Structure 1
C-alpha cells in the first residue's frame, strides 16, 4: 500500500503570513494579524485555521495544485445553491495565486464549525439524511461545457472494472476479505456494470463524498468540504454516500428524501460505486485506521442492503 506522498514544498507560518500580506488585505484587512494554526495535512493539501472564522487551504504537491483551482472556479456557484439549505462549502473568500515563494493557487475559505462526519457514529447520522438529500439535489444540476474533467469520478463503471477486479483479488490474497464477502462485492459490482449508463447531460458532482468530507454540528449536517475532485458526470458516484454514511434506517430516509430525481438504474450504479469505494478504502488505508474502518463498515452495508 502506498505511503502518503512527501510534501514538495515546506508550508510554514512565515510563508502563509507573506501570502496573506501580499494578497489578502483587500478581502480580509486584518488577515496578517489573525491567529494562525495548522489543523490538517492530507495527501494533497494542508489546512491552517486563520482566526475564528477562516481557514487557509494550500496544496502541498504539484499534482494537487489544479484541485484548488477547480474549487476556486466552481464553488461560488455551488455555495449559492447549497447555502439556503444550511449546508456550507469552502467557497473561496480569497482565491490566491502563486507568489511570495509559493508556486501554486491557494485559498482562504470559511471555517465550517463542527466535527468530521467520520467521528459521528453511523447510527447517529440518520438525522443528516434529509439535508444531505436536499444538498445533492441542489448540487446535481447540469454542468456547462468546460467543467473540470476527472479521470475516475462520475465516469461509466466500465472504466474502473480492471481496478476493482485487481483490488478484490489483492484483498482476498492479503486475507483482508473472505471469499464470501469478495464474491458478494464482485456480484454487486457486476450488477452495476450490467445497468444502463447515465444517459442525460453530465451534472455537477462532488466526486469524493464520504463521511470524512462531511461536517456535522449538534447532530446536523452543516458542511460538505474538499471539493478538489469536483467534476460533472453520473450522479451515482455521489449517491454512494447512502452506503458510505448511513445505516439501513438512515439510508431509507435518504433515498426517500431524494425524491424522484434518480431512477432505479442510477441507484444500482450507486450501489456498485459504494462497493468500489469500500474496496479503495480497504486497499489504501493501511496507515489510517479511521478510513480502513470506514471501508470495513461500508462493505458491510453494501453487502447487507441492496437498493430497492
Structure 2
C-alpha cells in the first residue's frame, strides 16, 4: 500500500479513532504535514496522528517509535513527539499508525536557524543526552550508524547524479571530503542511541533556534558520527565549532572526520530530493535543497 493506492482524509482518521480509540474521536482533525514516510494529522491542540503513506518500510518504523521513544523522551532536553497510542491494521486502513504528542514549531528547511550560537548549544545538549549506550535488542539502523566507507558506492552514485545536474559546484572537493571520512578509524565505543535522520525537515525551529526534533523512524544504535553530521546541515556559518565544543564527551578527530562524511551523504541526498524535477519522490520538497547546498559549501571550505 503506497501513497498512490489509498487516500488519507480527515474522515478516514476520524473513523480509525472511532474504531480503536473512541475516547479521542471527538477531537478536531486537520492535516498537519505530508512527509517522506508518513502523513501527520493534527488531533486537537496537543496530539497528532501519524499514518504511513509512501513507503512500505514505514510500518516497522512506526512500531519502533512506539516501543522505544517513550523510554528515551524523558531524558531529552528538546520536545519530541512521544507516542501515546498504537493503531493496528484493519479493514479501514491496512497498516499500523500511531497517536503522538504534537510538537510546535516550523521545520528548519522552511525556517532556518538564525541564532547560531543558541542553536549550536541546543543541538549539542540534545545529542549529548541522546547518545547513551543502547541496550541489547536496540534496533539496527537502515544504513545508519556504521562506518561511512560502507556507503562508498552509494556516495559515488549520488555525487555523479548531483554533479551531472549541475547541483554540485566542485565535485572533486566533495570527493576529497568523502575519501578522508571513509579512511578515518572506525568507532571503537559501544553502540549509542542515534536519531539517524537529522536533516532540516526533521528539526523544528522557533525564535531563530532549535525548538524540537521529530521523526524518529530511523532510531537505532551505532556510531555517533552519523548524528554529529547534523551540525553541518542545520547550523549557519560559524556555528559548527561551537557545537563541537559543547557536545560531550568531546568528539575525537576520527569521529569528526566520519561525521563530515555522513554530512556529505545527507547533503547530496537532500540536494537531489530537493530538486523535484529529478525524482519527484513523495515527501521531497524544494526547500531541502538550499540548506544541503550550504552544507556542501561549508564542508568544502573547511576540508584542509
Q: TM-score, normalised by structure 2?
A: 0.91
2:161, 2:28 → 1: CA distance? 46
- The aligned counterpart of 2:192 is 203
Which residues of structure 2 form unaligned runs of 5+?
A: 277-284
C-alpha distance after superposition, 1:144-199 (max 9, x if no partner): 22222223111211210001012222322332223xx2111101110011111111
* 1:225 equivalenced with 2:225 (yes/no): no
Contact 1:126 1:247 in 2 (8 A): no
- The aligned counterpart of 2:240 is 251
- The aligned counterpart of 2:13 is 16
2:17, 2:168 → 1: CA distance? 48
Secondary structure at 1:62 match in 2? coil
What's the CA shift for 1:274? 0.6
Contact 1:44 1:64 in 2 (8 A): yes
Selected match of 2:90 from 90, 99, 104: 99
Contact 2:37 2:58 in 1 (8 A): yes
2:209, 2:29 → 1: CA distance? 27
What's the CA shift for 1:88? 1.0
1:303, 1:185 → 2: CA distance? 6
* 1:174 equivalenced with 2:171 (yes/no): no
Selected match of 2:183 from 164, 173, 194: 194
C-alpha distance after superposition, 1:90-109 (max 9, x if no partner): 11111222235122221111
Which residues of structure 1 form unaligned runs of 5+?
A: none
Contact 1:133 1:254 in 2 (8 A): yes
* 1:241 equivalenced with 2:241 (yes/no): no
2:32, 2:263 → 1: CA distance? 29
Contact 1:202 1:234 in 2 (8 A): yes
Distance change in 2, residues 1:285/1:219 (3 Å):
closer
Alignment length (residue pairs): 294
Secondary structure at 1:167 match in 2? helix
Secondary structure at 1:93 match in 2? strand
Contact 1:15 1:100 in 2 (8 A): no
- The aligned counterpart of 2:143 is 152
- The aligned counterpart of 1:36 is 29
- The aligned counterpart of 1:71 is 65
* 1:165 equivalenced with 2:156 (yes/no): yes
2:254, 2:56 → 1: CA distance? 38
Superposition map of 1:276-291 within 5 A: 276-287=265-276, 288-291=285-288
1:282, 1:275 → 2: CA distance? 10
Distance change in 2, residues 1:122/1:224 (3 Å):
closer
- The aligned counterpart of 2:279 is none
Coordinate RMSD, CA, aligned: 1.8
